[in-house]
Structure 1
């Protein structure tokens, strides 16, 4: 059985679904979220617990034979950055403690494409040295710290670490009010019958639909052999505002978006993640192009608020 902490969040739920579809039993943890999305109903075991409670985490082994862990649980910073770092570090360390205690096969932890900020080379790939630079958000700062905490904690334990440098993921279960992802906000404005603000057609960047991201993580957890401990998880190509707009206009009758020509800040290329290492070791390629993803998301939102 594979444990997914934070398994009712967007990426966690799609990872759990993909693991189930690959034939694995899955247990997910949830703390504040209680609603199980329809695509997981009856397919996973849900354990309500706070990952900052070490005893509660370790007690999972009393009820389940856990062979692998995907640690995706996390919180949103409030006004106290120290409290945020404390909470999420304790949760990570408890999950790592469980991995070592139970002797699981693999332990995956969520990092972020934000760790590459400061590198001018595009696309961003795992062979790049991570720069020492100011980071734009507390979450990115924590994710950068996750990487050495994970690999060093598992050194010599027999547990294989997997650092997931997760890209710009969007799709079912994403909070439409979140400031961290523009596609969902843009589409949600259209769904409310409002006109989105103007955007430049050639601007864009890294992009991956949530079911594809979940499947990529599931493949990393179940591949017979992995040659690395760090993998980019995303769609492998940039997506432009023009592509998103064209997909929406093709699906929403009468919709005319304000897509301005070119790029807002002149010639250049927006950053995106190279997924060659992921594809080579797992065979992963995205199932959803942007048109298919937008169509799937609109169908989902017809019956779901997020």
Structure 2
């Protein structure tokens, strides 16, 4: 299968690219390399340094390589940055997605879209949250992702396309930037390794649905093969508090880190977990990596100090 991966040099995208190549797909990557690293990828992979905000370049690339599927992962993912600059967030996450849909329409390709579950359902959502809830996001990031989903649904109705939405939990694993602004597992692992106190925003009782990147990749591969439209939560269904997460990292490191508490950040939910009943029934997918095992893999990767070459 010919596959175009937007954001394919990023944390999740590079793992997905590896997995698609491993099974024999012809993979092309589009990434503006603002946060992605081309060095994460096999040297044989064609990497086009373009942004999804450039509709002309995106469509020209699609017309040249004729992908059958576009896995759309390119995005701005920092919730705090979306609060500070919602227009820039929407420019990538909404307009960029429309550009992907238009490029896909030009070559009759299906789109598998990486949306968010953790930032979508809202403060009053039942836990774990099923797909049928009306989203009430608390930040521009979640609002933009939901808006992008609405365009995907529109294209499916208007043009009869078979595009798919995967609402991801809080993804973690090797290659996530320990010095980044998002990805608490990688950030905590990096600070513990450096002997620094991890910063906990709020009281640490807030919960998230942490799902290992290898399981996310398998969900994408399953959705690509499934070939039909739909919206699916991709997580574990298990809420884990920030303090419990830090305790697990401490067990892996062999010592208990002492957190540094800071005020809660605007736009972030107190609790989030995803109901994955639909994905289990319809995609025959479920997360198979325990949080303890995933943290151990992530910590070992960070400890090795080889963020480009280390594999999941």
Length-normalised TM-score, structure 2: 0.81
Aligned to 1:143: 145
Aligned match for 1:160, one of 156, 159, 162: 162
Structure 1 partner of 2:174 = 172
Match of 1:212 among 206, 212, 215: 215
Count of residues in correspondence between the two structures: 289
3-state SS, counterpart of residue 120 of structure 1:
coil
Residue in 2 aligned with 1:256?
Answer: 256
SS in structure 1 of the partner of residue 197 of structure 2: coil
CA change 1:161–1:282 in 2 (3 A) is same
SS in 2 for 1:63: helix
Structure 1 unaligned spans of 5+: 260-268
How big is the shift at 1:202? Answer: 6.8
Alignment partner, residue 71 of structure 2 = 70
| Map of 1:271 onto structure 2 | 272
Aligned counterparts, 1:36-115, within 5 A: 36-38=38-40, 40-42=41-43, 44-75=45-76, 77=81, 80-104=85-109, 106-113=110-117, 114-115=119-120
Deviation, 1:197, is 5.3
Q: Equivalent residue for 2:263?
A: none
In structure 2, do the counterparts of structure 1 residues 69 and 202 end up closer, same or farther at CA, with 3 Å as the change threshold?
Answer: same
Unpaired runs of at least 5, structure 2? 260-269
Structure 1 residue 246 displacement after superposition:
4.9
Superposed displacement of residue 187, structure 1: 1.6
TM-score, normalized by length of structure 1? 0.82
- Larger CA Rg, structure 1 vs 2: 1
Distance in 2 separating the partners of 1:45 and 1:37 = 12
Counterpart of 1:2? 3
Deviations along 1:186-234, one digit per CA (max 9) or x if unpaired, are 22210111233579787533111222212212211112x54x5111122
Q: Deviations over 1:170-196 (max 9, x none)?
A: 222323344443222222210111233
- Give, in whole Å, the separation in 2 of the partners of 1:297 and 1:201: 21
In the alignment, the residues of structure 2 paired with residue 288 and residue 100 of structure 1 have an alpha-carbon distance, to the nearest angstrom, of 36
Q: What is the CA-CA distance between 1:67 and the residue it aligns to? A: 0.1
Q: Is the 8 A contact 1:244 1:291 kept in 2?
A: no
Give the drift of 1:252: 2.3
